[in-house]
Structure 1
């Protein structure tokens, strides 16, 4: 496995995945594997709320969006840390897409792992968890203060 690092966090990138450049503000890493096909997105965003509030917001959004089918959501422990897991599916008109999301909050930073693939019946396995387990936070990417946020320059 290749190591990803942005100065704030490191994690292992699985074999056969290629990095894709993206201009999304909070996206740290976006990987694709066209053989499976699957994508992995790792993002960091500033936040002033915890996982329970984030969970409530996501579930309210799903209730009002008839294009998203909630499969499961729950709090789980990975590496002695509590994550919020949200598994959903949606249709792109031709095939059903499954998305597994894992969210974690530390030091006013929300870390999000998102796995997207076209297999509605595929179960979560150690592949996803191994990437998450490899996460090492070096320093918070964002400093939240005075009603706003800034990039942490003390990396």
Structure 2
């Protein structure tokens, strides 16, 4: 089993997935498996708000985007923590894509797991949950004070 560790968090990398370099400041890990096909994105961002406010903002943004179909938006327990789960689909006109996102807030850091795959694929609940259950926070990546953030070095 391969583990990802950036000094702030660790999580299990599923077999068959390869890392892809990105230049997004808040993207900590981006994996693809061209055989499924599926991508997994793990991000950590600073935040001043909790999951209820994040849920409200995401739902409002989806309502204003006719290309995105909201399938599920709810809070769920994973391990001993509460996550916000949002399942949506969108179409580029040729194929439909499904995105399952799991969001978690701790110590003013927002942890986002995003799984994107062809809509027609089977449900992968255990696959997602096994990755999320392997997730451990070592220290917060960002320190948020007075409305500003800095990297926790």
Q: Normalising TM by the smaller chain, what interval?
A: over 0.9
Structure 1: which 5+ runs fail to align? none
Equivalent pairs counted in the alignment come to 153
Are 1:131 and 2:131 matched, yes or no?
yes
1:60 — aligned with what?
A: 60
2:43 — aligned with what?
A: 43
2:106 — aligned with what?
A: 106
- Which ranges of 4 or more aligned residues in structure 1 deviate by more than 3 Å? none
| Distance in 2, Cα, partners of 1:16 & 1:120 | 20
| Distance in 1, Cα, partners of 2:125 & 2:45 | 26
Name the SS of the counterpart of 1:57 in structure 2. Answer: helix
Are 1:141 and 2:120 matched, yes or no?
no
2:32 — aligned with what?
A: 32
TM-score of the superposition, structure 1-length normalised?
0.96
RMSD value, Cα: 0.9
2:116 — aligned with what?
A: 116
Q: Is the 8 A contact 2:89 2:119 kept in 1?
A: no
Q: Which region of structure 1 is more displaced relative to structure 2, 114-123 or 83-92? A: 114-123
Q: Is the 8 A contact 1:89 1:120 kept in 2?
A: no
Name the SS of the counterpart of 1:56 in structure 2. Answer: helix
Are 1:76 and 2:104 matched, yes or no?
no
1:13 — aligned with what?
A: 13
